[in-house]
Structure 1
Amino acid sequence: MRNIKLTIEYDGSRYQGWTRLGKDESGNTISNKITEVLRKMTDEYSIDLYCGCRTEVGVHAYAQIANFKTESDMDIQEIKHYLNRYLPMDIAIIDVEEVPERFHAQLNTSSKTYVYRMTIDDVPSVFDRKYTFHCYKIPDKHLMQQAAAELVGKHDFRNFSTAKKTKSTEREIYEIEVYGDIEEMQILIRADDFLHNMARLIVGTLLDIGLGTRPKEDIPAIFSGTKNASAPCDPKGLYLQEISY
């Protein structure tokens, strides 16, 4: 069996995330669209596609990583061209690589990085409105950076997640950067892993602090459970930027 690694770029606007299982199970997912084409390409119905990070509903990816095993003898370029020919135009395979048998896109990750993009102006841009969150007021970047510093390190992030059943809710955030100018700001979060909705709840809380609707001192209170995190940010501005191995 060959082990094939894919680097995938996608616009998550019209999909139910990377995958949707359980009572909300849906076929309208990124993984399902790719798997359907892989089965057609290889004539192997039992193909399993593993990803580095399960993005949520409406979230995009600059570089999602996935792998699958196949007995097909198609060369790398043929696989890339076939997938891009038959996939919807909002999903693109930007790289295909044959990797060692033991490589697993989900189990071998060392870090995952999300970036959140927001524009600031009196009038939202007609061209950016689908892929950035719009702020009418300039968030206080300094306050957001101070609050972000409280999140860096190893913590129990159960109160920054909507996961109902998780064995462990301890994660480690390696860095959070808040940068930009008066026209566009970005929040970058790099961690060993993310709980369900963790990135969106962190961004939503930092935005509320930057906009002055809650104090930066709320971060320890959210960890302790005496206060709740803010509502999750709008997913259209969130991108999976990188997965490291």
Structure 2
Amino acid sequence: MRNIKLVLEYDGSRYDGWQKQPGNNKSITIQDKIESVLSKMENETVELIGAARTEAGVHAYGQIANFKTNTDMKLYEIKHYLNRYLPRDIAVLEVFEVPERFHSSFSAKSFQYVYKITTGEVPSVFDRKFNYYCFHKLDVSLMKKAAQTLIGEHDFKAFSDNKRMKKSTIRKMSSIEFKTGINSIDITLTADDFWPNMARIIVGTLIEIGEGNIAPEYMEEVLLSGDRSKAGETAEARGLFLLDVKYE
């Protein structure tokens, strides 16, 4: 049996996230769509494993997934088949054959997300699906100062919405970088893993700091508290993209 790795991009606007939801016939997920096409490709049951379980409305430039198959199709044939039958808001960028033990999620060493913010007097009609529009001017210098508090290994419990999480919430944040334009701010976060909504809660807190509602020093208090209620609101999903997944 072959192990096939996919590099994917998708517009998550109309999907209920990456992961399929058994028992919920009304949900539409990225995993559902791709598995459906793969299962028809060779008339076999296929389980697609995604590196990151992106949330409803979140997009991806570089999602990684893998599946096991008995197909004899060449890699370029698999790529062409998938892109022919998948909806136009999901695309397969690359296809590789990988060792049997490769697992898109468990083998990953780091994940990188970018959150896109636009400002300005009038929201762009064309960017509205893929950016968070902020009505206030943001002080990026304050946001950068607060972000430095999160660099390193910490317990990020305060930045997760999952109250029943049993696994450790300790994660290592490698970097938080800011790229500014005339009316744009891109925040790129890199860590060894992200819990549900973690990136969006961090960004939501940074936005409140940038608006001047709370001081940069408050970020340390939030981090040490482990209390979700002390952090900012969860930033809108539309501005978040899974940028890259790194492997050794």
State the TM bucket, normalised to the shorter chain: over 0.9
The correspondence of residues 100-139 of structure 1 with structure 2, limited to 5 A, is 100-139=99-138
The alpha-carbon distance between structure 1 residues 135 and 27, as it changes in their structure 2 partners (threshold 3 A), is closer
Q: Deviations over 1:187-239 (max 9, x none)?
A: 00000000111000000000110011111122122123266111100110100
1:190 matched to 2:197: no
CA distance in 1, matches of 2:104, 2:56: 20
CA distance in 1, matches of 2:165, 2:79: 37
Deviation at 1:129, TM superposition (A): 1.1
Deviation at 1:53, TM superposition (A): 0.9
- Partner residue, 2:245: 243
- Partner residue, 1:177: 177
1:99 matched to 2:129: no
The alpha-carbon distance between structure 1 residues 27 and 44, as it changes in their structure 2 partners (threshold 3 A), is farther
Deviation at 1:179, TM superposition (A): 2.1
Deviation at 1:130, TM superposition (A): 1.1
Give TM-score scaled by structure 2 length.
Answer: 0.94
1:231 matched to 2:233: yes
Provide the aligned C-alpha RMSD in A. Answer: 1.5
Unpaired segments of 5 or more residues in structure 2?
Answer: none
CA distance in 2, matches of 1:25, 1:185: 38
SS of residue paired to 1:150:
helix
CA distance in 1, matches of 2:21, 2:224: 30
The correspondence of residues 1-245 of structure 1 with structure 2, limited to 5 A, is 1-21=1-21, 27-45=27-45, 47-163=46-162, 164-225=164-225, 228-245=230-247
Identity, % of aligned pairs? 49
SS of residue paired to 1:232:
coil
The alpha-carbon distance between structure 1 residues 193 and 182, as it changes in their structure 2 partners (threshold 3 A), is same
CA distance in 1, matches of 2:212, 2:237: 21
The letter of the residue matching 2:125 is V
CA distance in 1, matches of 2:201, 2:55: 12
SS of residue paired to 2:154:
strand
SS of residue paired to 2:230:
coil
CA distance in 1, matches of 2:36, 2:13: 20
Give TM-score scaled by structure 1 length.
Answer: 0.95
SS of residue paired to 1:208:
helix
CA distance in 1, matches of 2:8, 2:95: 9
SS of residue paired to 2:104:
coil
The alpha-carbon distance between structure 1 residues 179 and 127, as it changes in their structure 2 partners (threshold 3 A), is same
Q: Deviations over 1:24-52 (max 9, x none)?
A: 7864000110001000112112x211111
Deviation at 1:135, TM superposition (A): 1.7
* Contact 1:76/1:97 (8 A) holds in 2: yes
Deviation at 1:167, TM superposition (A): 1.2
* Contact 1:20/1:26 (8 A) holds in 2: no
* Contact 1:51/1:65 (8 A) holds in 2: yes
Q: Deviations over 1:95-121 (max 9, x none)?
A: 111111111101111110000111111
Q: Deviations over 1:115-146 (max 9, x none)?
A: 01111110011111111111222210100000
Q: Deviations over 1:58-90 (max 9, x none)?
A: 000001000001011011111111111111110
Q: Deviations over 1:154-187 (max 9, x none)?
A: 0111110012223111001000012203311110
